[in-house]
Amino acid sequence: MSLSFLAKMVVFALLALASGLAGREYAVPLADYLTDVRNITARDARISKRSIAYRIPAKQRLSFAFSRPVTETKLLVHPAVGEDVRSLEKGFVYGLRMRWIGANGEELAVHDTYLQADSPDEVFTSGNTWRFFRTRPELVAEQDILLVESPKPAARLQLEVFDIDPGIIGIDVRVFEQYAPAGSQALSAYRRLSDGSRELLTEPNAFPADLLTLEEKFYLGRNHWRSVGPIGLNGRDYTMLVLYEASREDVLADRSGESIADGEMAQ
């Protein structure tokens, strides 16, 4: 056996040892982490937010009426999936059809889009927000945010789902219209926002929310979105759901015995 060969074997052994130690350092906590994820129940979560979401009926359209004609809307949409596919690596694909309807009932435009959502376990291990239902067996997959424009002012928006992957139990959505408060109401609107909403609203700014001037808070308060409810009756035309949110750190902390704090209603 040559000296150079012996040296290579020593180096290889050292690298293998380092790799093994690193694998033990990261793989074991990750395995424990995923085990915790699978065992988490809604009672373990410190709720940071709760909102009303609406499930789009299969093979039907769900209509939302705006308070005034709009040319833009914001959608928060996600699929709810079964326990047996909560860790599906490829995630889930589904189609969403959006129809803009004018004040006289005429169709102004139709937009079709395909969305891909990561599985609930992927969302939990890669992000900071866990969304869930407390009284339903399905789990919430990745949420998408869509800004959709109409070529003309529209009075309603109709939503329809198609080409849904197996494993998806339903598609849930929240619809928002832009509301710009006037005068001092804009500052009040900003102050009523939750901490999470303020963080999202101030992300493009150089300074965090607590360092903004009154003028900056005023203009941010005018950039306000409010939720829009669907047309019809709950249980007949759609299913109304309460969607909860908790941070990943809070979920794991509560499993360690920390107290559960009440959340606030979503704006």
Residues of the chain above pLDDT 70, percent: 58
Mean residue pLDDT of the chain comes to 77
49 versus 154: the higher-pLDDT residue is 154
Determine the pLDDT at residue 65. Answer: 96
Query: Which pLDDT score, from 0 to 100, does residue 258 have?
Result: 44
| pLDDT tens profile 198-249 | 666 665 566 666 667 776 666 666 567 788 999 999 988 899 999 998 876 6
With a CB cutoff of 8 Å and minimum separation 6, the contacts of 135 are 242
Q: How far apart are CA 227 and CA 229, in angstroms?
A: 7
Cα–Cα distance for residue pair 47/263, rounded to 1 Å: 5
pLDDT at 90: 93
Residue 62 has pLDDT above 80, yes or no: yes
CA–CA distance, 138 with 79 (Å, rounded to integer)? 10
Task: For residue 215, give both structure tokens.
Answer: 């003028």
**Cα dist. 11→15, 22, 220 in Å?**
6, 16, 59
pLDDT at 248: 63
Please give the average per-residue pLDDT across 11-31, as a whole number.
Answer: 45
Q: Is pLDDT of 82 > 70?
A: yes
Highest mean pLDDT among 23-32, 70-79, 190-199, 245-254: 70-79
Instruction: Give DSSP secondary structure letters for the chain.
Output: --HHHHHHHHHHHHHHHHHHHHHHHHHHHHHHHHHHHHH--GGG----EEEEEEEPPTTS-EEEEEEEEEEEEEEEEEEEE-GGGTT-TT-EEEEEEEEEE-TTS-EEEEEEEEEEE--HHHHHHHSSEEEE-SS-S-EE---EEEEEEEEEEEEEEEEEEESPPTTEEEEEEEEEEEE---THHHHHHHHTS-HHHHHHHTTTSSS-GGG--HHHHHHHHHSEEEEEPBSS-BTTTBEEEEEEEEEHHHHHHHHTTPPPPP-EE--
Q: Which residue has the higher pLDDT, 262 or 92?
A: 92
- Decide which of 59 and 23 is more confident: 59
34 compared with 209, residue with greater pLDDT: 209
- Residue that wins the pLDDT comparison between 88 and 251: 88
Q: When comparing pLDDT for 10 and 125, which is higher?
A: 125
Confidence of residue 29 (pLDDT cuts 50, 70, 90): very low
Q: Is the model's pLDDT at 86 over the cut of 90? A: yes
Asked if residue 59 has pLDDT above 80, the reply is: yes
User: What per-residue confidence (pLDDT) applies to 247?
Assistant: 73
Mean pLDDT for the stretch of residues 134-153 = 93
